Amino acid sequence: MVILLHPERSVAYINRSLFLRLALLILGGGSLVVLAIVLFNHLTMRRTLLDDQERYYTALASSSAYKFNLQLLQAQKVVDEAAALFSALPHNKGTALNLLGRILSRNPDIYGSAIALAGGQQAAGFQILYSWRAGDRMQTMERSQPEQDYQSDWFYLPYHLRKPVWTDPYYDADAGTLMVTYSAPVVDRRRVVAVITCDLSLEGLKASLSELELGRHGNPLLISRFGKIILHPRSEWVHKETLYSLAEGAQNAEDRETLLAVSRELTAKESGSLRFRQPGKRTYAWLYFGSVPLTEWKIGFLIPEEQILAPVVNLGIKTVLIALTGVLLLLVPAFFIAAAITKPLQVLVRAADRLAGGDFEAPLPADGRTDEIGRLIVAFDGMRTDLQSYISELTRTTAEKEKIASELSIAREIQHGILPKIFPPFPQRSGLDLYAMLSSAREVGGDLYDFTLLDEDRLYFCIGDVSGKGVPASLFMAVGKTLLKSTVQTLQDPAKALFHVNNELAEGNDTCMFITLFCGILDLRTNELVYANAGHNPPVLFDRDRASFLDLIFSPPLAAMPDSPYQNQRLVLPADAKLLLYTDGVTEAMNPQLELFGEERLLAFLRGQPRQTAEGCVSQLVKTVAEFAQGAEQSDDITLLCLSYGSSRPSAAGNGTSPTSLLVVTNHHAELPRLVTWLEGLQTRLEWSDDLVGQINLILEEWLVNVMSYAFDDDQLHEIEIRLWQKEKELRIEVRDDGKPFDPTTQTEPDLGLSLEERPIGGLGILFIRNSLDELRYQRQEGENVVTMVKRLETPGRELPHAET
Partner 1 sequence: MKRILTGIFFFLLSAAGSAAAEPVRLVLQWQHQSQFAGYYMALEKGFYRAENLDVTLIPGGAHVDPLRMIRDGQADFCTTMLSSVLGRHDRNEFVLLQQVLNRSNLTLVAWKKGRHGIDSIAAPSDLDQRRITLWDGFRPPYEAFFRRYGIDPVIIPQYYSFSLFLHRGADACCAMRYNEYHSLIQHGLRDEELTVFDFHELGVDLPEDGLFAVAETWRRRLSVCDAFVRASMKGWQYARDHRRETLDVVMRYVEEARLPANRPHMEWMLDTILQAVFPATDAGWIPGQLTEERYRKAVSILGLEGSEPAYGDFVTPGAQRGLH
**Residues that bind partner 1 in the complex, under the rule CB under 8 A:** 145, 147-148, 151-153, 156-157, 160-161, 165, 167-168, 171, 226-228, 239-245, 248-249, 263, 267
**What is the distance between the alpha carbons of residues 121 and 118, in angstroms, rounded to a whole number?**
7
Structure letter (DSSP) for residue 590: B
Nearer to partner 1, 244 or 426 (CB): 244
Nearer to partner 1, 150 or 597 (CB): 150
Nearer to partner 1, 145 or 657 (CB): 145
Instruction: For the CB of residue 94, give the shortest distance to partner 1 in the complex, in Å.
Output: 31
Q: Which residue in 395, 370, 367 sits closest to 381, CA to CA?
A: 367
Instruction: For the CB of residue 166, give the shortest distance to partner 1 in the complex, in Å.
Output: 10
Nearer to partner 1, 153 or 588 (CB): 153
User: Could you tell me where the DSSP H helices lie in 89-128?
Assistant: 93-106
Nearer to partner 1, 148 or 709 (CB): 148
Nearer to partner 1, 243 or 521 (CB): 243
Nearer to partner 1, 13 or 171 (CB): 171
Q: Which residue in 770, 713, 769 sits closest to 741, CA to CA?
A: 713
Instruction: For the CB of residue 120, give the shortest distance to partner 1 in the complex, in Å.
Output: 16
Instruction: For the CB of residue 310, give the shortest distance to partner 1 in the complex, in Å.
Output: 33
Instruction: For the CB of residue 242, give the shortest distance to partner 1 in the complex, in Å.
Output: 5
Instruction: For the CB of residue 41, give the shortest distance to partner 1 in the complex, in Å.
Output: 44
Query: 421-425 long-range contacts, Cβ below 8 Å, gap at least 24?
Result: 422/804, 423/615, 424/662, 425/451
Phi, psi of 581 (to 5 degrees): -105, 140
Instruction: For the CB of residue 112, give the shortest distance to partner 1 in the complex, in Å.
Output: 20
Q: Does residue 653 contact residue 734 with C-beta atoms inside 8 Å?
A: yes
Instruction: For the CB of residue 279, give the shortest distance to partner 1 in the complex, in Å.
Output: 13
Instruction: For the CB of residue 293, give the shortest distance to partner 1 in the complex, in Å.
Output: 16
Nearer to partner 1, 81 or 153 (CB): 153
Structure letter (DSSP) for residue 235: G
User: Cα-Cα-Cα-Cα dihedral of 103, 105, 109, 115, to 10°?
Assistant: 20
Residues comprising the chain, all counted: 805
**What is the distance between the alpha carbons of residues 528 and 526, in angstroms, rounded to a whole number?**
5
Buried b / exposed e over 331-360, threshold 16 CB at 10 Å, is: eeebeeebeeebebeebbeebeeebeeeee
Nearer to partner 1, 81 or 168 (CB): 168
In a 10 Å sphere around its CB, with 0-12 CB exposed, 13-18 middle and 19+ buried, how is residue 574 labelled?
middle
Phi, psi of 457 (to 5 degrees): -120, 5
Handedness of CA 420, 422, 427, 430 (dihedral sign): positive
Nearer to partner 1, 92 or 152 (CB): 152
Q: Output the DSSP codes for 335-397.
A: HHHHHHHHHHHHHHHHHHHHHHTT---PPPPPS---SHHHHHHHHHHHHHHHHHHHHHHHHHH
Instruction: For the CB of residue 157, give the shortest distance to partner 1 in the complex, in Å.
Output: 6
Instruction: For the CB of residue 67, give the shortest distance to partner 1 in the complex, in Å.
Output: 25
Nearer to partner 1, 244 or 335 (CB): 244
Instruction: For the CB of residue 37, give the shortest distance to partner 1 in the complex, in Å.
Output: 49
Helix axes 763-772, 690-710, angle to 10 degrees: 150
Nearer to partner 1, 223 or 495 (CB): 223
Q: Does residue 636 contact residue 780 with C-beta atoms inside 8 Å?
A: no
Nearer to partner 1, 225 or 623 (CB): 225
Q: Does residue 522 contact residue 528 with C-beta atoms inside 8 Å?
A: yes
Nearer to partner 1, 147 or 713 (CB): 147
User: Could you tell me where the DSSP H helices lie in 418-537?
Assistant: 470-491, 494-506
Nearer to partner 1, 263 or 568 (CB): 263
Query: 209-213 long-range contacts, Cβ below 8 Å, gap at least 24?
Result: 209/64, 209/68, 209/299, 212/64, 212/67, 212/68, 213/60, 213/63, 213/64
Phi, psi of 799 (to 5 degrees): -80, 125
In angstroms, the Cα distances linking 402 to 69, 170, 396, 409, 469 are 118, 123, 10, 10, 20
Q: Which residue in 491, 479, 557 sits closest to 518, CA to CA?
A: 557
Instruction: For the CB of residue 221, give the shortest distance to partner 1 in the complex, in Å.
Output: 16
In angstroms, the Cα distances linking 575 to 273, 279, 543, 676 are 132, 125, 9, 34
Q: Which residues pair with 789 in a beta bridge?
A: 733, 776
User: Cα-Cα-Cα-Cα dihedral of 608, 613, 619, 625, to 10°?
Assistant: 20
Instruction: For the CB of residue 171, give the shortest distance to partner 1 in the complex, in Å.
Output: 8
Instruction: For the CB of residue 240, give the shortest distance to partner 1 in the complex, in Å.
Output: 5
